[in-house]
Structure 1
Amino acid sequence: MLNMAGDIPAQKAGLRAMAKQRRAVARAANRDNGTRAGARIAANLLQAVSLPINAIVSGYHAMGDEADPLPALLALAAGGYSLCLPVTLKRGLPLSFRLWRPGDALEPGVWDIPVPPATAPEVEPDMLLVPLLAFDREGYRLGYGGGYYDRTLAALRGRGGEKGPVLAIGIAYAAQEVESVPREATDQWLDWIVTEQGAIRTDGRTDG
C-alpha cells in the first residue's frame, strides 16, 4: 500500500538516521567485520534464488557498514555468471553498468566509490544486488535519497525485447528490517531480500 500519511521525505530522513545506527550495530555484531555474514548471505542467495543461464549480475562495492556482496559475487563468477558494477554518471539519471571480473582493476568514481574504468564494456544486468539502509517484508527499501536505484529499476523493468524483467535483490543484515518503509509512487520494490539469516520473498514468505 502506498504510504500517503504525512511528509514522506521527512519520514524517510528520520528513518535514515535510525537505520544507519542499526546497520552499524549489526555489522559490529558480525565477527570478522562482516566477512562471515557475507558468506552466509552468499549461501542463502545461491540456495533460494534461481538464475537463468547466461544471466548478467550487477553487484556493488560495499562502503562503510553495508552488507558485503563480494562472497556472493565470487560464487556467481565461479558458477559461470557474468558480473558488472554500477556507475553513477550524472545526478537525476539511472545507473550505468560496466562489465567486471574478480581481480579486474577499479578506479574511483562518484563519491570515490570504486568502479570499472570507462574502457570496460557497458552491459544491461538481468539481476541487481542492491545495498540499502532498511527494508520491509513488502520488498521496499530505504536508500540514501538519490533515487538512483529507483530510476534504474524503473528503466530496466520497462525494457522490451528478449531480456525480460530484471530481478532486484536487496543485500542486508537481518537487523535492518523495519515494519514499514515510507514510500512514494516512484519507489521501486525488491523481489527478494537476502540476509545472513535467510532469503525473504517480498510476498512475506521466507526460505532458510
Structure 2
Amino acid sequence: MAIDKASLRISARQLRDHANASNPNASRELAGRFPIKLFERFGPTVAGYLAIGSELDPAPLLDRLKKAGAEICLPRVEADDSMTFRRVADERDLEAGPLGLTQPSAEAERAHPTLVLAPLLAFDAAGNRLGYGKGHYDRALSKLRSDGRTFVCGLAYAEQEVLKIPAEETDVPLDWLMTPKASLPLFFGRVVG
C-alpha cells in the first residue's frame, strides 16, 4: 500500500503540535542532553534554524554550542528557490523571507556548515526525514554532503516517529536524531569523515 506524503504531513503536523503542547521544557532538555562530542567532531560551523509553529526550538542548543565555540549559521531561501546557509551574529542579520519565514539577510556571509541541525515533520527508524515538501533541505544537504564531511542531525519529539516514510531518490537521510529524551545514531553504513 502506497503511503500518501500529503496525508502523512497532515497527521505528522498534528502529532508534532500535540508533542509541543505536552512538552514545554523540551528545547532545554534537548540542549542539556545533546552530546557535545558531535560538535567536537563535526563543528565548528553549525547550521541551526529558527523554529516555526510547533517545531522543536533549537535556540537553547544553539546558545550552548555557541558558548562551546560554534560558528552559527541559519538557512536562507534564495530568489532562485535554492537554500543556502548564512552566518548570523544577532537579530540585525535577519530579515523577512518567503513563506512568512525569518531568515538571514542577503548581505550575511555564506557558510558551509559541517554540522546541520534539521527540523522535520516526521522521521522513521531508517533515518528518513519528512519535511514540508518543497525540497529545500534535501537539495541543500545534497550539495553540502559532496565534501563527505557534513553531518545531519534531526531534532524532533519522540512522538514524531512513524513506521515508514516513503523515501525518494532525492531525499537525504539523517545521520543522527536527537529528541528531548534520547538520541539515535542513524549512520546506515555511510562513512562520515
Question: TM-score with structure 2 length normalisation?
Answer: 0.89
- Per the alignment, residue 97 of structure 2 pairs with 109
- Per the alignment, residue 17 of structure 1 pairs with 10
Structure 2 SS opposite 1:107: strand
- Per the alignment, residue 74 of structure 1 pairs with 63
Displacement of 1:90? 3.9
Equivalent runs, 1:145-184 vs 2, <5 Å: 145-159=133-147, 164-184=148-168
Q: Give structure 1 regions of 4+ aligned residues with deviation exceeding 4 angstroms.
A: 102-105
Displacement of 1:101? 2.5
2:130 to 136, 139, 142: 142
Q: After superposition, what is the alpha-carbon deviation per residue over 1:9-66, rounded to whole angstroms, capped at 9, x for unaligned?
A: xx111111110110010011013xxxx2001111222356343375100000000010
Query: Which consecutive unaligned segments of at least 5 residues does structure 1 have?
Result: none
CA distance in 1, matches of 2:39, 2:84: 24
Query: Is this contact kept in 2: 1:48–1:199, CA < 8 A?
Result: no
One-letter code of the match for 2:9? R
- Per the alignment, residue 27 of structure 2 pairs with 38
One-letter code of the match for 1:109? G
One-letter code of the match for 1:27? N
Query: Is this contact kept in 2: 1:77–1:101, CA < 8 A?
Result: no
Structure 1 SS opposite 2:40: coil
Query: Which consecutive unaligned segments of at least 5 residues does structure 2 have?
Result: 189-193
Query: Is this contact kept in 2: 1:137–1:203, CA < 8 A?
Result: no
* Percentage of pairs with the same residue: 39
Count how many residue pairs are aligned between Structure 1 and Structure 2: 188
Question: TM-score with structure 1 length normalisation?
Answer: 0.83
Cα distance 1:21–1:53, how it changes in 2: closer, same or farther (>3 A)? closer
CA distance in 2, matches of 1:78, 1:144: 31
Structure 2 SS opposite 1:87: strand
Query: Is this contact kept in 1: 2:44–2:71, CA < 8 A?
Result: yes
CA RMSD of aligned residues (A): 1.9
Query: Is this contact kept in 1: 2:155–2:178, CA < 8 A?
Result: yes
One-letter code of the match for 1:191? D
Q: Single out whichever of 52-61 and 13-22 deviates more from structure 2.
A: 52-61
Q: After superposition, what is the alpha-carbon deviation per residue over 1:107-161, rounded to whole angstroms, capped at 9, x for unaligned?
A: 11112211122221111111111110000111111100001111111111113xx
- Per the alignment, residue 85 of structure 1 pairs with 74
Structure 1 SS opposite 2:72: strand
Structure 1 SS opposite 2:34: helix
One-letter code of the match for 1:129? L
Displacement of 1:165? 1.7
